[in-house]
């Protein structure tokens, strides 16, 4: 299945059923009386975050979603049935943005006049949000009987449906994001430390979509790692894969910046990280400010003299590993777990913020 992280759809709730204006007739009621029942409520459109889904591909195939209308009321005090709610499942990490005000041709860039409105960020499994509430059913004429009007002949129509045009935007949820040039060895690292099996080959842009891997420790804790397709110099001008996948590391706690030993300058190893960090700053200064673990990979294929020079001139925080042979990986994983634990309190405090479930919606 294709990885799709954005989709535009239209959702419409159910219309409320009309109330009935029926008048009953019976031998013991020569003047009759109102017996029209109420119309049923239209169905809501509800979005639910699901761990079963990994992509928004289904919403490229189908773009219109409608809930069921409420049933009209009938005579003999028969109330119409409520329309069934429509529950739409989306991957965990999906943001719901309302672009109804801007129409189909919205622009959320820096020069755009119309910005989509964030309705909900479904970042937890089974989290729900009501996007379009169903229309209320109209009241039947039995509600309008009074001492001066014993046989009312009017009833209320059901409330109309609500419709919205939405942009669904998926941002994968991970604790650590892998950053590096093409062929830096990110995919090999991910396959070495987790059960993920990304495509690996000796040519640029082997990874064309984000891959997720999960690492578990002895206490069954889980650390989720996202392998993001490689940036190159000039990504801000659209070169290579551009910025299209960087949004997937915006939610991470920290970044693991991997540099191939073949690309590192033996005299100034730390200089190799500057270019991609500059591309990050051009995309989002907050993303560039995230904590980083700097790694030099592929030490198994370096000449001894080159490796010795890199080790001698590298700052003490740069780790040396071989994702292929496993050399240095235990130390790197230990550092990742340490960062994971150190940044946990910030995540817990963030959990106290509004959770976008929508008080009016769920």
Q: Is residue 61 part of a domain?
A: yes
Average pLDDT over residues 301-330: 94
Identify the band that residue 45 occupies on the pLDDT scale cut at 50, 70 and 90: very high
Residue 54 confidence (pLDDT) above 70: yes
Q: Is residue 285 part of a domain?
A: yes
Are 28 and 160 part of one and the same domain? Answer: yes
Among residues 335, 341, 239, the alpha carbon closest in space to that of 282 is found at 239
Are 208 and 320 part of one and the same domain? Answer: yes
Q: Is residue 361 part of a domain?
A: no
Are 327 and 265 part of one and the same domain? Answer: yes
Q: Is residue 1 part of a domain?
A: no
Per-residue confidence (pLDDT) for residue 230, from 0 to 100: 58
Question: Of residues 352 and 157, which shows the higher confidence score?
Answer: 157
User: What is the residue-averaged pLDDT of the chain?
Assistant: 82
- Of 169-178, 224-233, 282-291, which gets the smallest average pLDDT? 224-233
Residue 134 confidence (pLDDT) above 90: yes
Q: Is residue 357 part of a domain?
A: no
Question: Which of 139, 170, 201 represents a domain boundary (last residue)?
Answer: 170
Containing 169, the helix (H) or strand (E) segment is: strand 163-170
Give the helix ranges, DSSP H, for 52-207: 58-61, 186-193
**What contacts 275, CB < 8 A, 6 or more positions away?**
233
Are 260 and 337 part of one and the same domain? Answer: yes
DSSP letters along 188-231, please? Answer: HHHHHHSS------SSTT---S-EEEEEE-TT--EEEEEEPPPP
3-state SS, residue 137: coil
Q: Is residue 360 part of a domain?
A: no
Cα separations in angstroms, 5 against 164, 204, 295? 20, 22, 29
Identify the band that residue 59 occupies on the pLDDT scale cut at 50, 70 and 90: very high
Average pLDDT over residues 327-348: 82
Are 82 and 130 part of one and the same domain? Answer: yes
- Of 91-100, 171-180, 209-218, which gets the smallest average pLDDT? 209-218
Cα separations in angstroms, 31 against 34, 37, 125? 10, 19, 59
| Residue 324 · residue 300 · CB < 8 Å | yes
Are 211 and 134 part of one and the same domain? Answer: no
Question: Which of 170, 193, 214 represents a domain boundary (last residue)?
Answer: 170
Chain position carrying tokens 């049933």? 71
Give the CATH number, domain containing residue 93.
Answer: 2.70.210.12
What is the sign of the dihedral through the CA atoms of 196, 201, 203 and 208?
negative
Average pLDDT over residues 151-161: 92
CA 317 centroid distance within chain: 33
| Residue 252 · residue 228 · CB < 8 Å | no
Question: Which of 135, 170, 205 represents a domain boundary (last residue)?
Answer: 170
| Residue 122 · residue 47 · CB < 8 Å | yes
Are 158 and 197 part of one and the same domain? Answer: no
- Of 23-32, 120-129, 191-200, which gets the smallest average pLDDT? 191-200
pTM: 0.69
Identify the band that residue 11 occupies on the pLDDT scale cut at 50, 70 and 90: very high
Identify the band that residue 142 occupies on the pLDDT scale cut at 50, 70 and 90: confident
Among residues 9, 66, 11, the alpha carbon closest in space to that of 42 is found at 66
| Other CB atoms within 10 A of residue 57 CB | 14
Q: Is residue 115 part of a domain?
A: yes
CA 246 centroid distance within chain: 13
Give the CATH number, domain containing residue 273.
Answer: 3.40.50.300
Distance CA 204, CA 207 (A): 8
- Of 8-22, 27-41, 57-71, which gets the smallest average pLDDT? 27-41
Distance CA 343, CA 362 (A): 31
Are 303 and 281 part of one and the same domain? Answer: yes
Residue 162 confidence (pLDDT) above 50: yes
Residue 249 confidence (pLDDT) above 70: yes
What is the sign of the dihedral through the CA atoms of 362, 97, 347 and 337?
positive
Are 189 and 315 part of one and the same domain? Answer: yes
Per-residue confidence (pLDDT) for residue 360, from 0 to 100: 35
**What contacts 61, CB < 8 A, 6 or more positions away?**
none
Q: Is residue 32 part of a domain?
A: yes
Q: Which domain holds residue 56?
A: 6-170
Per-residue confidence (pLDDT) for residue 107, from 0 to 100: 46
Residue 348 confidence (pLDDT) above 70: no
Question: Of residues 235 and 313, which shows the higher confidence score?
Answer: 313
- Of 63-72, 213-222, 342-351, which gets the smallest average pLDDT? 342-351
Are 124 and 187 part of one and the same domain? Answer: no
- How many domains in the chain? 2
Are 114 and 141 part of one and the same domain? Answer: yes
Per-residue confidence (pLDDT) for residue 241, from 0 to 100: 43
Residue 246 confidence (pLDDT) above 90: no
Residue 204 confidence (pLDDT) above 60: no
Q: What is the pLDDT of residues 257-290, one digit of tens each?
A: 999 999 899 999 999 898 888 878 887 788 889 9
Distance CA 135, CA 19 (A): 13
Residue 169 confidence (pLDDT) above 50: yes
Are 165 and 182 part of one and the same domain? Answer: no
């Amino acid at each position: 299945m294709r990885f799709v992280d954005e989709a535009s759809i239209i959702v419409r709730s159910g219309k409320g059923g009309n109330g009935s204006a029926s008048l009953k007739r019976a031998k013991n009621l020569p003047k009759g009386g109102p017996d029209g029942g109420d119309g049923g409520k239209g169905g809501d459109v509800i979005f639910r975050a699901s761990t079963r889904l990994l992509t928004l591909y289904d919403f490229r195939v189908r773009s219109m979603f409608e809930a069921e209308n409420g049933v009209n009321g009938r005579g003999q005090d028969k109330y119409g049935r409520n329309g069934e709610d429509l529950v739409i499942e989306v991957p965990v990490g999906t943001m719901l943005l309302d672009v109804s005000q801007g129409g189909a041709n919205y622009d959320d860039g820096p020069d755009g006049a119309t910005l989509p409105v964030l309705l909900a960020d479904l970042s937890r499994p089974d989290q729900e949000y009501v996007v379009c509430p169903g229309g209320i059913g109209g009241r039947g004429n039995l509600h309008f009987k009074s001492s001066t009007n014993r046989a009312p002949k009017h009833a209320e129509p059901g409330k109309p449906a609500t419709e919205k045009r939405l942009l669904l935007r998926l941002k994968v949820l991970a604790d650590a994001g892998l950053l590096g040039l093409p062929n830096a060895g990110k995919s090999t690292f991910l396959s070495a430390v987790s059960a993920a099996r990304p495509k690996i080959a000796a040519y640029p842009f082997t990874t064309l979509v984000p891959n997720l891997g999960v690492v578990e420790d002895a206490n069954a804790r889980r650390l989720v790692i996202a392998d993001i397709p490689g940036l190159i110099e000039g990504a801000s001008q659209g070169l290579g894969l551009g910025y299209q996948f960087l949004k997937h590391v915006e939610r991470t706690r920290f970044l693991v910046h991997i540099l191939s030993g073949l690309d590192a300058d033996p005299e100034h190893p730390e200089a190799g990280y500057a270019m991609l960090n500059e591309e990050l700053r051009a995309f989002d200064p907050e993303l560039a400010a995230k904590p980083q673990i700097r790694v030099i990979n592929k030490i198994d294929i370096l000449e001894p003299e080159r490796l010795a020079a890199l080790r001698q001139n590298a700052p003490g925080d740069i780790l040396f590993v071989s994702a292929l042979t496993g050399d240095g990986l235990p130390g790197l994983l230990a550092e990742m777990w340490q960062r994971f634990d150190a940044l946990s309190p910030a995540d817990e405090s963030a959990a106290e913020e509004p959770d976008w479930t929508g008080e009016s919606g769920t």
